[in-house]
Amino acid sequence: MSFGSPTPVEVAVQGTNMAANRVYAQTIRGELAKIPELRDLRLARPLDYPTLDITIRSRPRGPIRSHSGGRRALHSRGHLLQPFHGTELLARSGERNGFQIQVEIPQDRIQPADDVRNIPVMKDGRSRPLLGDVASVANGTAPGMVERYNMQRVVSYTANVHGEPLGRLAEKVREALKRAGESPRGMTVGLRQIPVFEETFRGLRTGLLLSMAAIFPLLAANFQSFRLSALSCSRRQLLSERQSANAGSPRRRSRGRRESPRLRKAGANRR
Amino acid sequence: MKVALKPTAPIRGEELFEQLRTELLKALPSCQFTFEAGDIVSRL
Protein backbone atom coordinates (compact mmCIF):
# COMPACT_ATOMS: atom_id res chain seq x y z
CA MET A 1 0.00 0.00 0.00
CA SER A 2 3.11 2.23 -0.38
CA PHE A 3 2.84 3.35 3.28
CA GLY A 4 1.55 6.83 2.58
CA SER A 5 4.24 7.79 0.11
CA PRO A 6 3.46 8.02 -3.59
CA THR A 7 6.98 6.93 -4.61
CA PRO A 8 9.45 4.25 -3.43
CA VAL A 9 11.97 6.76 -2.03
CA GLU A 10 11.03 9.54 0.38
CA VAL A 11 13.45 11.51 2.53
CA ALA A 12 11.80 13.61 5.23
CA VAL A 13 13.52 16.42 7.14
CA GLN A 14 11.66 17.17 10.34
CA GLY A 15 12.18 20.08 12.72
CA THR A 16 10.55 23.06 14.37
CA ASN A 17 12.10 25.68 12.08
CA MET A 18 10.65 25.45 8.58
CA ALA A 19 13.29 27.69 6.99
CA ALA A 20 16.14 25.64 8.48
CA ASN A 21 14.41 22.42 7.41
CA ARG A 22 14.23 23.72 3.89
CA VAL A 23 17.91 24.71 3.74
CA TYR A 24 19.04 21.31 4.98
CA ALA A 25 16.56 19.51 2.69
CA GLN A 26 18.07 21.34 -0.29
CA THR A 27 21.53 20.11 0.72
CA ILE A 28 20.17 16.57 0.80
CA ARG A 29 18.52 17.11 -2.57
CA GLY A 30 21.87 18.06 -4.07
CA GLU A 31 23.36 14.77 -2.87
CA LEU A 32 20.38 12.68 -3.95
CA ALA A 33 20.53 14.22 -7.43
CA LYS A 34 23.98 12.63 -7.85
CA ILE A 35 22.45 9.12 -7.74
CA PRO A 36 21.87 8.22 -11.41
CA GLU A 37 19.18 5.60 -10.65
CA LEU A 38 16.84 8.13 -9.03
CA ARG A 39 14.14 9.73 -11.18
CA ASP A 40 11.50 12.44 -10.63
CA LEU A 41 13.25 13.91 -7.59
CA ARG A 42 10.97 16.62 -6.24
CA LEU A 43 9.46 18.19 -3.16
CA ALA A 44 6.50 16.19 -1.91
CA ARG A 45 4.66 19.41 -0.98
CA PRO A 46 5.26 22.59 -2.96
CA LEU A 47 6.99 25.23 -0.84
CA ASP A 48 6.78 28.12 -3.33
CA TYR A 49 3.16 27.94 -4.30
CA PRO A 50 2.12 31.14 -6.17
CA THR A 51 -0.08 33.41 -4.08
CA LEU A 52 -1.49 36.94 -4.06
CA ASP A 53 -0.43 38.86 -0.98
CA ILE A 54 -3.23 41.27 -0.03
CA THR A 55 -2.32 43.83 2.59
CA ILE A 56 -5.28 45.86 3.88
CA ARG A 57 -4.28 49.43 4.61
CA SER A 58 -5.50 50.98 7.81
CA ARG A 59 -6.12 54.33 6.01
CA PRO A 60 -7.51 53.66 2.53
CA ARG A 61 -7.06 56.06 -0.35
CA GLY A 62 -9.83 57.37 -2.62
CA PRO A 63 -13.28 58.75 -1.89
CA ILE A 64 -13.89 56.81 1.33
CA ARG A 65 -10.99 58.43 3.12
CA SER A 66 -13.22 61.27 4.28
CA HIS A 67 -15.63 59.13 6.27
CA SER A 68 -13.96 56.72 8.68
CA GLY A 69 -12.50 54.59 5.89
CA GLY A 70 -10.21 52.62 8.17
CA ARG A 71 -13.12 51.14 10.02
CA ARG A 72 -14.96 50.36 6.84
CA ALA A 73 -11.89 48.68 5.41
CA LEU A 74 -12.26 46.03 8.08
CA HIS A 75 -15.30 44.80 6.20
CA SER A 76 -13.12 43.97 3.23
CA ARG A 77 -11.66 40.79 4.69
CA GLY A 78 -15.00 39.05 4.83
CA HIS A 79 -16.16 40.46 1.52
CA LEU A 80 -12.96 39.46 -0.23
CA LEU A 81 -13.60 35.82 0.55
CA GLN A 82 -17.12 35.95 -0.83
CA PRO A 83 -16.29 35.71 -4.55
CA PHE A 84 -14.10 32.64 -3.89
CA HIS A 85 -16.06 30.81 -1.24
CA GLY A 86 -19.45 32.06 -2.36
CA THR A 87 -22.49 33.39 -0.62
CA GLU A 88 -24.54 30.76 1.12
CA LEU A 89 -28.26 31.07 1.15
CA LEU A 90 -30.70 28.81 2.90
CA ALA A 91 -33.76 28.43 0.75
CA ARG A 92 -36.91 26.96 2.22
CA SER A 93 -39.53 25.13 0.33
CA GLY A 94 -42.69 24.77 2.38
CA GLU A 95 -42.17 24.32 6.10
CA ARG A 96 -39.85 21.33 6.42
CA ASN A 97 -37.58 21.05 3.41
CA GLY A 98 -34.63 23.41 3.28
CA PHE A 99 -31.68 23.35 0.92
CA GLN A 100 -28.50 25.32 0.55
CA ILE A 101 -27.61 27.46 -2.45
CA GLN A 102 -24.07 28.67 -2.92
CA VAL A 103 -23.21 31.42 -5.38
CA GLU A 104 -19.60 32.12 -6.27
CA ILE A 105 -17.53 33.53 -9.10
CA PRO A 106 -15.80 30.71 -11.03
CA GLN A 107 -12.10 30.76 -10.20
CA ASP A 108 -11.09 30.75 -13.85
CA ARG A 109 -12.78 34.14 -14.27
CA ILE A 110 -10.45 35.74 -11.74
CA GLN A 111 -7.09 35.41 -13.46
CA PRO A 112 -4.89 38.51 -13.19
CA ALA A 113 -4.27 40.43 -9.98
CA ASP A 114 -6.34 43.32 -11.38
CA ASP A 115 -9.49 41.15 -11.19
CA VAL A 116 -8.85 40.81 -7.48
CA ARG A 117 -8.22 44.54 -7.10
CA ASN A 118 -11.62 45.22 -8.69
CA ILE A 119 -13.66 43.22 -6.20
CA PRO A 120 -16.10 45.51 -4.34
CA VAL A 121 -15.63 45.22 -0.63
CA MET A 122 -18.48 47.14 1.02
CA LYS A 123 -21.07 45.08 2.76
CA ASP A 124 -24.07 47.25 1.78
CA GLY A 125 -23.76 46.19 -1.88
CA ARG A 126 -22.30 49.43 -3.19
CA SER A 127 -19.93 49.14 -6.14
CA ARG A 128 -17.18 51.19 -4.49
CA PRO A 129 -14.71 51.17 -2.85
CA LEU A 130 -12.89 48.34 -4.53
CA LEU A 131 -10.30 46.14 -2.91
CA GLY A 132 -7.55 48.03 -4.75
CA ASP A 133 -8.64 51.22 -2.91
CA VAL A 134 -8.22 49.74 0.54
CA ALA A 135 -5.46 47.17 0.03
CA SER A 136 -2.29 46.49 -1.90
CA VAL A 137 -2.18 43.33 -3.99
CA ALA A 138 1.16 41.76 -4.92
CA ASN A 139 2.40 38.42 -6.19
CA GLY A 140 4.01 36.22 -3.60
CA THR A 141 4.76 32.63 -2.67
CA ALA A 142 3.80 30.42 0.24
CA PRO A 143 4.02 26.72 1.11
CA GLY A 144 1.23 24.91 -0.69
CA MET A 145 0.73 22.64 2.29
CA VAL A 146 2.74 22.27 5.49
CA GLU A 147 3.07 18.69 6.62
CA ARG A 148 3.49 18.10 10.33
CA TYR A 149 4.63 15.08 12.27
CA ASN A 150 4.75 15.08 16.09
CA MET A 151 4.01 18.81 16.05
CA GLN A 152 7.12 19.46 13.93
CA ARG A 153 7.16 20.68 10.36
CA VAL A 154 8.35 18.31 7.65
CA VAL A 155 10.02 19.02 4.32
CA SER A 156 10.30 15.89 2.23
CA TYR A 157 11.68 14.90 -1.15
CA THR A 158 10.29 11.99 -3.14
CA ALA A 159 11.84 10.06 -6.00
CA ASN A 160 11.21 7.08 -8.25
CA VAL A 161 13.69 4.30 -8.92
CA HIS A 162 14.89 3.21 -12.34
CA GLY A 163 17.04 0.24 -13.31
CA GLU A 164 18.03 -0.78 -9.78
CA PRO A 165 16.25 -2.74 -7.04
CA LEU A 166 15.17 -0.65 -4.07
CA GLY A 167 17.17 -2.76 -1.62
CA ARG A 168 20.45 -2.00 -3.42
CA LEU A 169 19.54 1.64 -3.90
CA ALA A 170 18.86 2.07 -0.18
CA GLU A 171 22.61 1.94 0.53
CA LYS A 172 23.26 4.69 -2.02
CA VAL A 173 20.55 6.86 -0.50
CA ARG A 174 22.04 6.37 2.97
CA GLU A 175 25.49 7.29 1.65
CA ALA A 176 24.02 10.44 0.10
CA LEU A 177 22.54 11.37 3.48
CA LYS A 178 25.94 10.86 5.10
CA ARG A 179 27.57 13.10 2.48
CA ALA A 180 25.01 15.82 3.22
CA GLY A 181 26.52 16.07 6.70
CA GLU A 182 25.10 15.88 10.16
CA SER A 183 21.69 17.43 10.59
CA PRO A 184 21.45 20.61 12.71
CA ARG A 185 20.41 20.30 16.33
CA GLY A 186 16.73 19.54 16.83
CA MET A 187 16.30 18.32 13.27
CA THR A 188 15.86 14.69 12.25
CA VAL A 189 16.17 13.08 8.84
CA GLY A 190 14.24 9.93 8.05
CA LEU A 191 13.56 7.59 5.15
CA ARG A 192 9.89 6.79 4.81
CA GLN A 193 9.53 3.71 2.59
CA ILE A 194 12.90 2.00 2.78
CA PRO A 195 12.90 1.01 6.50
CA VAL A 196 9.46 -0.61 6.13
CA PHE A 197 10.64 -2.43 3.01
CA GLU A 198 13.75 -3.70 4.79
CA GLU A 199 11.77 -4.73 7.85
CA THR A 200 9.37 -6.70 5.64
CA PHE A 201 12.27 -8.53 4.00
CA ARG A 202 13.91 -9.22 7.34
CA GLY A 203 10.64 -10.77 8.51
CA LEU A 204 10.35 -12.88 5.36
CA ARG A 205 13.96 -14.05 5.70
CA THR A 206 13.45 -15.00 9.35
CA GLY A 207 10.23 -16.81 8.44
CA LEU A 208 12.00 -18.77 5.71
CA LEU A 209 14.82 -19.82 8.07
CA LEU A 210 12.36 -20.84 10.78
CA SER A 211 10.32 -22.89 8.31
CA MET A 212 13.50 -24.62 7.09
CA ALA A 213 14.45 -25.34 10.71
CA ALA A 214 11.02 -26.87 11.25
CA ILE A 215 11.03 -28.91 8.03
CA PHE A 216 14.59 -30.24 8.42
CA PRO A 217 13.87 -32.67 11.32
CA LEU A 218 10.74 -33.87 9.51
CA LEU A 219 12.77 -34.65 6.40
CA ALA A 220 15.49 -36.27 8.50
CA ALA A 221 12.88 -38.52 10.12
CA ASN A 222 11.37 -39.35 6.73
CA PHE A 223 14.68 -40.21 5.01
CA GLN A 224 16.23 -41.47 8.25
CA SER A 225 19.30 -39.54 7.25
CA PHE A 226 20.51 -36.05 8.15
CA ARG A 227 22.65 -36.01 5.03
CA LEU A 228 19.74 -36.60 2.66
CA SER A 229 17.67 -34.10 4.57
CA ALA A 230 20.38 -31.46 4.25
CA LEU A 231 20.79 -32.33 0.57
CA SER A 232 17.09 -31.92 -0.12
CA CYS A 233 17.15 -28.46 1.55
CA SER A 234 20.30 -27.39 -0.27
CA ARG A 235 20.39 -24.99 -3.18
CA ARG A 236 21.98 -27.61 -5.40
CA GLN A 237 19.05 -29.92 -4.90
CA LEU A 238 16.62 -27.13 -5.69
CA LEU A 239 18.51 -26.38 -8.90
CA SER A 240 18.58 -30.01 -10.02
CA GLU A 241 14.86 -30.28 -9.31
CA ARG A 242 14.25 -27.21 -11.43
CA GLN A 243 16.35 -28.70 -14.23
CA SER A 244 14.43 -31.96 -14.11
CA ALA A 245 11.16 -30.01 -14.13
CA ASN A 246 12.36 -28.13 -17.21
CA ALA A 247 13.34 -31.39 -18.85
CA GLY A 248 9.79 -32.57 -18.25
CA SER A 249 8.34 -29.69 -20.27
CA PRO A 250 7.20 -30.64 -23.81
CA ARG A 251 10.00 -28.70 -25.50
CA ARG A 252 12.68 -30.22 -23.32
CA ARG A 253 11.10 -33.68 -23.44
CA SER A 254 11.43 -33.85 -27.21
CA ARG A 255 15.10 -32.91 -26.83
CA GLY A 256 15.56 -35.44 -24.04
CA ARG A 257 14.42 -38.31 -26.29
CA ARG A 258 17.33 -37.81 -28.62
CA GLU A 259 20.28 -39.98 -27.83
CA SER A 260 23.72 -38.53 -27.56
CA PRO A 261 26.22 -39.71 -30.22
CA ARG A 262 28.25 -41.45 -27.52
CA LEU A 263 25.26 -43.49 -26.33
CA ARG A 264 24.26 -44.27 -29.90
CA LYS A 265 27.75 -45.65 -30.54
CA ALA A 266 27.65 -47.70 -27.34
CA GLY A 267 24.28 -49.13 -28.39
CA ALA A 268 25.58 -50.05 -31.83
CA ASN A 269 28.52 -51.87 -30.27
CA ARG A 270 26.18 -53.79 -28.00
CA ARG A 271 24.05 -54.80 -30.95
CA MET B 1 -3.43 13.31 -15.15
CA LYS B 2 -4.46 9.70 -14.92
CA VAL B 3 -3.55 7.54 -17.89
CA ALA B 4 -4.60 3.93 -18.52
CA LEU B 5 -2.79 2.10 -21.30
CA LYS B 6 -4.65 -0.14 -23.68
CA PRO B 7 -3.86 -3.85 -23.31
CA THR B 8 -2.42 -3.83 -26.82
CA ALA B 9 -0.02 -0.94 -26.13
CA PRO B 10 3.39 -1.86 -27.57
CA ILE B 11 5.37 -0.13 -24.84
CA ARG B 12 4.69 -0.30 -21.11
CA GLY B 13 6.08 0.37 -17.66
CA GLU B 14 9.51 1.80 -16.97
CA GLU B 15 10.48 1.92 -20.63
CA LEU B 16 7.50 4.16 -21.38
CA PHE B 17 8.18 6.40 -18.37
CA GLU B 18 11.78 6.87 -19.42
CA GLN B 19 10.78 7.76 -22.97
CA LEU B 20 8.14 10.21 -21.73
CA ARG B 21 10.61 11.85 -19.34
CA THR B 22 12.96 12.54 -22.24
CA GLU B 23 10.27 13.75 -24.64
CA LEU B 24 8.39 15.91 -22.12
CA LEU B 25 11.59 17.53 -20.87
CA LYS B 26 12.41 18.50 -24.46
CA ALA B 27 8.91 19.85 -25.17
CA LEU B 28 8.35 21.64 -21.83
CA PRO B 29 11.73 22.36 -20.23
CA SER B 30 10.33 24.62 -17.50
CA CYS B 31 7.90 21.98 -16.22
CA GLN B 32 8.46 19.09 -13.88
CA PHE B 33 6.86 15.69 -14.44
CA THR B 34 6.60 12.75 -12.10
CA PHE B 35 5.07 9.33 -12.52
CA GLU B 36 3.12 8.02 -9.60
CA ALA B 37 1.01 4.95 -9.12
CA GLY B 38 -2.67 5.59 -9.78
CA ASP B 39 -3.70 3.59 -6.76
CA ILE B 40 -6.11 4.31 -3.96
CA VAL B 41 -3.39 5.65 -1.62
CA SER B 42 -2.61 8.62 -3.82
CA ARG B 43 -6.29 9.47 -4.03
CA LEU B 44 -6.94 9.60 -0.28
Report the top-level CATH class of A2-48+144-192: alpha beta
CA–CA dist A147, A44 (Å, integer): 10
Residue A48 burial (10 A CB sphere; 0-12, 13-18, 19+): exposed
For chain A, say whether B31 makes contact (Cβ under 8 Å).
no
Confidence bin at A65 (pLDDT 50/70/90): very low
Q: Which helix (H) or strand (E) holds A22?
A: helix A18-32
| CB pairs A-B closer than 8 Å | 30
CA dihedral (A174, A143, A23, A28) in degrees, to 10, reads 20
Closest residue in chain A to residue B14, using alpha carbons only: A162
Q: What percent of chain A is predicted at pLDDT more than 90? A: 27
Contacts of B33 in chain A (CB under 8 A): 40
Q: Give the closest residue to A60 by CA, choosing from A115, A129, A139, A125.
A: A129
C-alpha to C-alpha distance for A211 and A74, rounded to whole angstroms:
73
Q: What is the residue extent of each domain of chain A?
A: 2-48+144-192, 58-137, 204-270
Mean pLDDT (whole number) for A141-170: 90
Pick the more confident residue, A5 or A15: A15
Answer yes or no: are the C-beta atoms of A146 and A153 closer than 8 Å. Answer: yes
Q: Which residues contact A68 (CB under 8 A, 6 or more apart)?
A: none
- Per the CB < 8 A criterion, the answer to whether A49 and A225 are in contact is no
Q: What is the pLDDT of residues A69-98, one digit of tens each?
A: 444 444 555 556 666 665 655 666 566 667
**Residue A174 to chain B, least CA–CA distance (Å):** 22
pLDDT bracket for residue A2 (50, 70, 90): low
pLDDT reported for residue A16: 92
**Res A68 pLDDT > 60:** no
Spatial contact of A48 and A191, defined as CB atoms under 8 Å apart = no
